[in-house]
Structure 1
Amino acid sequence: MEQRFVSFNVEGMNHVDNLVSSLLGSSLTYMNEKTNGKTEFYNKMKPSEVEQLSYDSMVEVAPSVDFPKERIELISGHVFPDILLHETKYGVEIKSTQKDSWTSTGSSIVESTRDADTERVYMLFAKLGGTPEFRCKPYQQCLSNIAVTHAPRYLIDMELDEKNNIFSLMKTNYDEFRQLNEADKISQVRQYYIEKAKAKGKYEMPWWMGGTTNVNLSFYADLDIEEKREIETRALILFESLFNVSKDRQNKYKTFSLWLCTNYSLLCTNMRDLFTAGGSYHYINGQKLEHPYPHIVGDLLNSLPRIKKMLKDPDYMLMKSIEEFWDSKYDRNNLLSSWVNMIEDKFKSQAELKDIPIRELIEMEAIAQI
């Protein structure tokens, strides 16, 4: 059976740490003993009733462990966590499920209402379905994943192995993560899910944490010409897969399509036409080519002024996208050079592009014509 109460493994535990552990351990024993023979009563409990029961139980056992009961305060919904243990730096978040399960949806990852004085949080969880039972363990040890309702929220799993919590998977720890600002939290979580999808060879993107500012979906085709040029220029910077003309052509637009939707709330019904419409390019700087260049090459060359301008002075959104989508090493202080290296390597890997002197064409700022 899963251990009902798990205390913080704190180096050099002091009197307060031990006192809080005793309070919660004794409260949990008290609460579980009270469930005997009252299955139907507990099966019907509401979340607010579980919170009140938890608070009342702590107050009841506090004298037996020499914990001042006046330091126990039920905040419930106004501040995170639900119960504050004043003058201890500890708090208790209360969650429950009416299912016969140890999993549920938890609180927001942003923690915008977190009590400023609370450094360590316990999760006290009530499984009300089946045989009612209560468990308590350090908050971060039972957060298995992140999902979305109206905002990104943690998923709770009270049977979770400590090494498999979401923070271990993201290669961070809860104390570091919780102190990040909202934007950095979202960025770190978003990067984790993007990298996770890449590792599995999947084309996925967390739509609920993109750069989207439009609440309505609309169509790319309805944008004006300048808006399209802006987006297409960013795409040529970010997605080397657009140059998959020889290998993996069937997947070349997938990541771009997801990015277009998650960052701009835009749908495109003719994705292929964006970089292929108009046929091949037959002239470079007015000189006819022996072999025409694919349309995407001409688009790149003719977009160079805009590409250079963006890379020499990248805005926040472009910089964050580069961090997410560039797989090659790059110099943050010379993004243009890094991009040229990346494009040159991509051309060399494609049978139809390997003979095109793309670096030379970029350096001479070549102009392509149909």
Structure 2
Amino acid sequence: MIQEPRFVTFNLEGMNNTDKLVNSLLSNSIKFMNESASNNPIDYKSMSGSDIEEFSLASMKEVASSVSFPKERIHLVRNHIFPDILLKETGYGVEIKSTQKDAWTSTGSSIIESSRNEDVERIYMLFGKLGGIPEFRCKPYQQCLSNIAVTHAPRYLIDMNLDQEDSIFAKMQTEYDNFRQLPEADKISKVRKYYIDKARKEKKHEMPWWMGETTKVNLSFYNDLSVDDKNEILARACILFKSLYNKDNKNRYRPISLWLCNNYSLLCPNMRDDFSAGGQCTILNGKTLERPYPHIVQEILKNHCRIKDLLNHPDEDILMSIHDYWDFPYNPNDLYNSWLDMIEECFKENPQLSFVPIRKHIEDDAKLS
């Protein structure tokens, strides 16, 4: 098994004296820390996160004179400032993480970085693995962030064995330095798009709850809404979810249930009832149909005016949702006809709906009585 390097430097073009000085300080610190852990492994197995922070600080100050780094410029900061150690007047900082497990993975800091020190341009991750044989490694922060998970807020996942091309930023096709400078809403939006696209590619119906635009804290039931509020949501669902018109009964309503919870903080244990149950459509324009239409046709026609208005005069929410959920070619300058094209094609491909001339009924503004 190939031994991972204990210190990895930033890949910089034309390193200046400060870059080289910081490299020397940290590479010597890691060497010192590993020698200390090797000599007294038992002492390190029970160390807390705070102990590792203090040990990291002491190690840097211990080796500082050997590389001509002023030890008074090495500061361990408190009050949850990011990163943990500042190397004053260098633009560098060091984030300290550790685990009691015999593993090189852990949960990292918030993706928002709202407490980031504004003087820090580059950050190293110094990681202590205390389980098994204690060991310490250090590498550029962005090179060891593998994914994003949620505790009480979205946080990076750390993997010190990670190849740079497998980082979360490579997956999102962005650079850490570009991502970290985005406004908070734009960060969430970018991550949100990545996970939606990933779920779609893997044919999974999932979306982490923290990625929604909802501002409500408490969950409530969809069935408790007023009729008008229900119709507004049904109209938006008819626009966004192609699955409503597909043959796949199993997955027809699952994405809508997730969307309701994510965007509106609403629970709906019987989503199917609003789209499929409640009787078929038997009368249209005052005439009894020879063959009744499935209930979904009734919902489309009932909410058609609202649907048309939403697509011809889209608000920010519907535009963002279309961007997230429409997985078919569409004209952003003609959303209404793009939707008509989609729904017509879906009806033709679904044996249960193929006999319904849905586009004609919509364009003729067919009445349900």
User: C-alpha distance in 2, partners of 1:78/1:152?
Assistant: 16
**Is 2:291 the partner of 1:261?**
no
| Structure 1 partner of 2:368 | 368
Q: Is the 8 A contact 1:311 1:335 kept in 2?
A: yes
User: C-alpha distance in 2, partners of 1:70/1:329?
Assistant: 60
Q: Within 5 Å, give how 1:1-370 maps onto structure 2.
A: 1-244=3-246, 247-369=247-369
Which one-letter code corresponds to 1:11 in the other structure? E
Tell me how far 1:188 sits from its aligned partner.
1.7
SS for the counterpart of 2:95 is strand
Q: Is the 8 A contact 1:194 1:206 kept in 2?
A: no
Q: Which moved more, 1:324-333 or 1:231-240?
A: 324-333
User: C-alpha distance in 2, partners of 1:76/1:98?
Assistant: 22
Tell me how far 1:348 sits from its aligned partner.
2.1
User: C-alpha distance in 2, partners of 1:231/1:212?
Assistant: 14
TM-score by length of 2: 0.94
User: C-alpha distance in 2, partners of 1:349/1:305?
Assistant: 25
User: C-alpha distance in 2, partners of 1:133/1:278?
Assistant: 64
Tell me how far 1:209 sits from its aligned partner.
1.9
Which one-letter code corresponds to 1:280 in the other structure? Q
Q: Which moved more, 1:262-271 or 1:235-244?
A: 262-271
Q: Which moved more, 1:251-260 or 1:35-44?
A: 35-44
User: C-alpha distance in 2, partners of 1:249/1:34?
Assistant: 62
Q: Is the 8 A contact 1:93 1:123 kept in 2?
A: yes
User: C-alpha distance in 1, partners of 2:278/2:130?
Assistant: 64
TM-score by length of 1: 0.94
Tell me how far 1:61 sits from its aligned partner.
1.5
Q: Which moved more, 1:324-333 or 1:20-29?
A: 324-333
Which one-letter code corresponds to 2:274 in the other structure? L
Q: Which moved more, 1:36-45 or 1:285-294?
A: 285-294
Tell me how far 1:198 sits from its aligned partner.
2.0
User: C-alpha distance in 1, partners of 2:288/2:310?
Assistant: 30
User: C-alpha distance in 1, partners of 2:333/2:92?
Assistant: 44
Once the two structures are superposed, residues 35-82 of structure 1 have per-residue CA deviations (whole angstroms, 9 ceiling, x without a partner) of 233222111211112112112221222222122323222114432111
Tell me how far 1:289 sits from its aligned partner.
3.0
Change (3 A) 1:270 1:78: closer
Once the two structures are superposed, residues 151-207 of structure 1 have per-residue CA deviations (whole angstroms, 9 ceiling, x without a partner) of 011111111122111111122221121111111211221222222222222222212
SS for the counterpart of 1:146 is strand
Q: Is the 8 A contact 1:83 1:93 kept in 2?
A: yes
Runs of 4+ in 1 over 4 A off after TM superposition: none
Aligned residue pairs, count? 367
Q: Unpaired segments of 5 or more residues in structure 2? A: none
Q: Is the 8 A contact 1:147 1:155 kept in 2?
A: yes
User: C-alpha distance in 2, partners of 1:342/1:69?
Assistant: 66
User: C-alpha distance in 2, partners of 1:129/1:330?
Assistant: 53
SS for the counterpart of 2:38 is coil
SS for the counterpart of 2:255 is helix
Q: Is the 8 A contact 1:76 1:83 kept in 2?
A: no
Q: CA RMSD in A?
A: 1.7
SS for the counterpart of 1:147 is strand
